[in-house]
Chains A and B, each alone.
Chain A
Amino acid sequence: MSQENGKEIFIQVNNLKKHFPIFRGVFRRQTGAVKAVDGISFNIYKGETLGLVGESGCGKSTTGRSILQLLKPTDGEVLFRGQDLTQLGQNELRKSRRHMQMIFQDPYASLNPRMTVGNIIGEPLEIHNIGDANSRKERVKELLRIVGLNPYFINRYPHEFSGGQRQRIGVARALATNPDFIVADEPISALDVSIQAQVVNLLDDLKDDLGLTYLFIAHDLSMIRYISDRVAVMYLGKIVELSDKDVIFDHSLHPYTQALLSAIPIPDPEKEAKRQRLILEGGVPSPANPPKACNFHPRCSYATDICSEVDPEFRNMGTESAAHWVACHHAEQFK
């Protein structure tokens, strides 16, 4: 495996694209495409949590799914364990799936209501032909314990559990095949505040105990700062900034990141009163018809002519050993 910044590169994403075709008319002719992910490149280091943030519709879930090949990328590479996942056939892909799993946002929709918790958690073991019925059952009990649920619940159904408990079941299922990479897609967004911390602590502990690597997708930026090692900020199919979390939160060089940070409410009336807020106008434009060049320019208060004419390069404005990737023509002025 290659190195970067003295870290082992675990997953390498090169120019990844996922375009969803748009069909119109009686003949269902393709008239365009939703450029949900439009040429993104980044590395995920072994053992890190890479946070992925951005407004809804920016392509975060599509990115996670395209990396895991749950969606077939339109273009680009995903290098994992020396293989380009985008080139694998069904069989090889199934084998590599063991090592990569996903945790979903909605703990209500993502578990089959007619299956017992034991069957839900054990299903990936069956799919991958791991062990026999007995050893699987033992493994499921162990997994329940690992995620903080009583193994005694093995024959119960999802509806008998609370949201936070269901999310633990989802986590147990993701862990069944002993993966080393997990995409967690907004795993706490649907949970109550007091329960969110429980699940985040669990994910954090598991990472240390089991040596996991996470791509953690969220829109709660304070939680992202807490859980991530590095943070990637996504806007309209592109990654616009990527660096260590403290750099992103304290020394951002991209106006979109700055606007996102400025929108986070702070639980302190005094700080809120003193705060200068940068309020973004409007919403995210449609990825079927994104603005030209820097696609953030219509909402950006720093935009000049060049921003609507030339696509800004995703460049390293940090150092060799402390990279800070930014795609903004005017990033220098924020230094």
Chain B
Amino acid sequence: MTHLLEVRELVTKFYTEQGVVNAVNGISYTLDEGESIAIVGESGSGKSVGVLSIMGLIPSPPGRVDSGEALFNGRDMIGMDPEELRHIRGREMAMVFQDPMTSLNPVLTVGFQLTESLKLHLGMDDNQAKKRAAEMLDLVGIPNPEGRLSDYPHQFSGGQRQRVMIAMALSCNPSLLIADEPTTALDVTIQAQIVELVKQLQEKLGMAIIWITHDLALVAGMVDKVAVMYAGYIVEQAPVHDLYKKPLHPYTLGLLHSMPKLDATGQERLASIEGLPPDLRQNFQHCPFSPRCPYAIDKCKQENPALMSTGPNRLSACWRWEDLREETGFGVNA
């Protein structure tokens, strides 16, 4: 069976004056039609670079996808002709960013920006495009959609702008939506609105989703599977229920334990992950998490673990995943 998207051993580096930054170190995952995956990790872990590499949006120089494949409907996006790439982007594959203003042009009306891509990608005429644009604004819950087509981006609130972005991304009916921390700058209340909206739209339109976030809590209720990134590696991947019930990588476990529990009162001290993420200008000969890992043994400091299968559809890059599995009272819900 072919996947909608199959990323294989993707390697992206930045060749800077300060050295070579190993931003993405051979990540692999697949995504089927209508499926959703969350990519979770701290800032600098390579989440954005990972998806920008697929979309052909890595600034070069200094960046370069050095190796790997990203098969979208069977076609490799890496090294694809820019014209063809542009056609896939925006039509079959669309992206929303943390800051809507990076993709919205402040001097053009929202209606113009929405209809432009409909005309370009779907060959609609003025009237068709306008009608569709208003439908899209309505779909993402903007009141008075026809009237608002003539408004400029700054006339929308932060949450509404993110809705407009989503409308724009979905207007050509893409089969894959990539959302790069679209709610990070928003209040929890507005974040909840956007998450709910995307969930509904996915049910209605059936697109696959890559949702990037630093917040493990946020995606628990909205995706099928989760990939946890650290230092440019996917260190754990699992179906959503398995991951939260029994994380099999100390970093995932650390992230979950460092979040206070909302429903627990009189909680003891938070378990923090000591230390800092590593400098990515090194070639990791050891487990990249080992300097901060409470479970590290000598082997961890000498050999970098590859992803190992730890169960059905589960992977962990930890030498001690079996010990983690055996440990009782170890899981987050235990």
Contact = CB atoms under 8 A, between A and B. Distances in A.
A270 B189 contact: no
A267 B241 contact: no
Contacts of B196: 277, 279
Interface stretch (A76-84, A128-136, A188-196): A188-196
Q: Which of B195, B214, B215, B262 has the most CB of A within 10 A?
A: B262
Contacts of A56: 187
B190 A162 contact: no
Given A223-B260, A226-B270, A192 B214 contact: yes
Interface string B158-201: 11100000000000000000000000000111111101100000
A196 B258 contact: yes
B313 interface: no
Interface string A279-300: 1110100000000000000000
B217 A265 contact: yes
Question: Which bucket holds chain B's interface residue count?
Answer: 35 or more
A267 B276 contact: no
B interface SS class: loop
A193 B157 contact: no
User: Quick one: which of A164, A197, A270, A281 has the most chain B CB within 10 A?
Assistant: A197
Interface string B102-130: 00000000000000000000000000000
Given A56-B187, A197-B272, A270 B157 contact: no
Contacts of B254: 194
Interface in A237-256: 245-246, 249-250
A225 interface: yes
Interface string A198-218: 101100100000000000000
Given A267-B217, A269-B244, A193 B188 contact: no
B189 A280 contact: yes
A193 B215 contact: yes
B267 interface: yes
A266 B273 contact: no
Given A55-B189, A246-B265, A283-B190, A267 B220 contact: yes
Interface of B: 42-43, 157-160, 187-193, 195-196, 214-222, 240-241, 244, 254-256, 258-263, 265, 267, 269-274, 276-277, 332-333
* The 7 residue pairs across chains A and B that have the minimum distance between CB atoms: A272-B221, A197-B272, A226-B260, A197-B258, A263-B192, A267-B217, A194-B273
